[in-house]
Amino acid sequence: FVGNSTYLDDHGPPPQKVLPFPSQVVYNRVGKCGSRTVVLLLRILSEKHGFNLVTSDIHNKTRLTKNEQMELIKNISTAEQPYLFTRHVHFLNFSRFGGDQPVYINIIRDPVSRFLSNYFFRRFGDWRGEQNHMIRTPNMRQEERYLDINVCILENYPECSNPRLFYIIPYFCGQHPRCREPGEWALERAKLNVNENFLLVGILEELEDVLLLLERFLPHYFKDVLSIYKNPEHRKLGNLTVTVKKTVPSPEAIQILYQRMRYEYEFYYYVKEQFHLLKRKFGLKSHIRKPSPRPEFFIPSPLETEEPINDEEEDDEKWLEDIYKR
């Protein structure tokens, strides 16, 4: 005879699972800023560490109606914790709809470099397959597909002018209609959200240091991420996502792009400065440069982490606790 267990009579209910903090993380990935490389890593890490990786098959809808925002926030908030949700989507204010605001993370890159990567990716795809681009842009006419980048910029085609070039800031500004308008309002709101809602915004040009800090800030998600990233097998997979047939526009065209993207560059330099402050607090050296009159991608930027420096201005662990309390 198998009777009912009497364990609960003597011991009470089993203790609740203790969740790591934070247990709700959103990576609202900016397009062409290394996100496919990071998602490859997250798939490995979720299996290794047992967190819930929630991804989306929607890649081309970053701006949502109020009802769409409510529905997405509801779906995210009810996911099993600890979770990390990732999707190309402009910043969502969970608290506006009565939800708990998750911790946000993201990565950006030099704006012109990002634009060029996207321009050629839409036309020619990457090393994963020659027909990759045909799936993403099936209706692109041949004359558009082979449009010279200099012609696009110098003759002011829509793809190479505002508001199309105002791309990175809305991911941090949010869903407000003014977030799509190039200007000071969207820029300042994006900066405010970086300060108040993002645990870390890294820059792709220093990806290894981004991964180091993510491992330090969110070990239950990113422990061992750098060793996985440096593994030759992972590098082989990562190389398949590199855009093919990229060419560099003329200096004249680059300068025009640079001027059209002045708000994007102001935001990029702001994020870069904040990222370098974080690196310094955790003993990672950065080469501080004044903003250059030419786009950053002309300037070599090592991905390797340099030797740590001594910095005893503030206790690292206490400072990290303060970040979590923001």
DSSP single-letter state for residue 313: S
pLDDT of residue 316: 46
Examine residue 185 and state whether it is found in any structural domain, yes or no: yes
pLDDT of residue 140: 86
The better pLDDT of the pair 272, 124 is held by 272
Domain, as residue range, for 256: 24-284
Which helix H or strand E contains 52, and what residues bound it? strand 52-55
| pLDDT band of 246, cuts 50, 70, 90 | confident
CB 105 within 8 A of CB 198: yes
CB 115 within 8 A of CB 257: yes
Which helix H or strand E contains 24, and what residues bound it? strand 24-27
Single-letter code of the amino acid located at 326? R
Q: Which of 101, 124, 94 is nearest to 24 (CA)?
A: 101
CA angle 245/248/252 to nearest 5° reads 150
Does the structure show a pLDDT above 90 at 325? no
Single-letter code of the amino acid located at 184? E
User: Once rounded to an integer, what is the mean pLDDT over residues 83-95?
Assistant: 97
Does the structure show a pLDDT above 50 at 60? yes
pLDDT of residue 109: 97
Examine residue 314 and state whether it is found in any structural domain, yes or no: no
Beta strands in 128-208 (DSSP E): 198-203
| β-pair partners for 75 | none
| pLDDT band of 136, cuts 50, 70, 90 | low
pLDDT of residue 2: 52
Cα–Cα distance measured from residue 24 to residue 105, given in angstroms and rounded to the nearest whole number: 11
Examine residue 41 and state whether it is found in any structural domain, yes or no: yes
Examine residue 238 and state whether it is found in any structural domain, yes or no: yes
**Average pLDDT of the chain?**
84
| Catalytic-role residue among 49, 88, 176, 234 | 88
Examine residue 196 and state whether it is found in any structural domain, yes or no: yes
Please tell me the total count of domains within the chain. Answer: 1
| β-pair partners for 138 | none
CATH number of the domain that residue 242 is part of: 3.40.50.300
pLDDT of residue 152: 96
Q: Which of 319, 107, 318 is nearest to 214 (CA)?
A: 107
88 given a catalytic annotation: yes
Strand, coil or helix: 14:
coil
pLDDT of residue 5: 55
CA 253 to each of CA 111, 154, 160, 180, 315: distance values in angstroms, whole numbers, following the listed order: 14, 6, 10, 24, 47
Does the structure show a pLDDT above 60 at 301? no
Examine residue 313 and state whether it is found in any structural domain, yes or no: no
pTM: 0.82
Cα–Cα distance measured from residue 189 to residue 169, given in angstroms and rounded to the nearest whole number: 9
Examine residue 317 and state whether it is found in any structural domain, yes or no: no
CB 25 within 8 A of CB 221: yes
Strand, coil or helix: 290:
coil
pLDDT in tens, 96-107: 999 999 999 999
Strand, coil or helix: 93:
coil
Examine residue 145 and state whether it is found in any structural domain, yes or no: yes
Cα–Cα distance measured from residue 248 to residue 254, given in angstroms and rounded to the nearest whole number: 9
Does the structure show a pLDDT above 90 at 180? yes
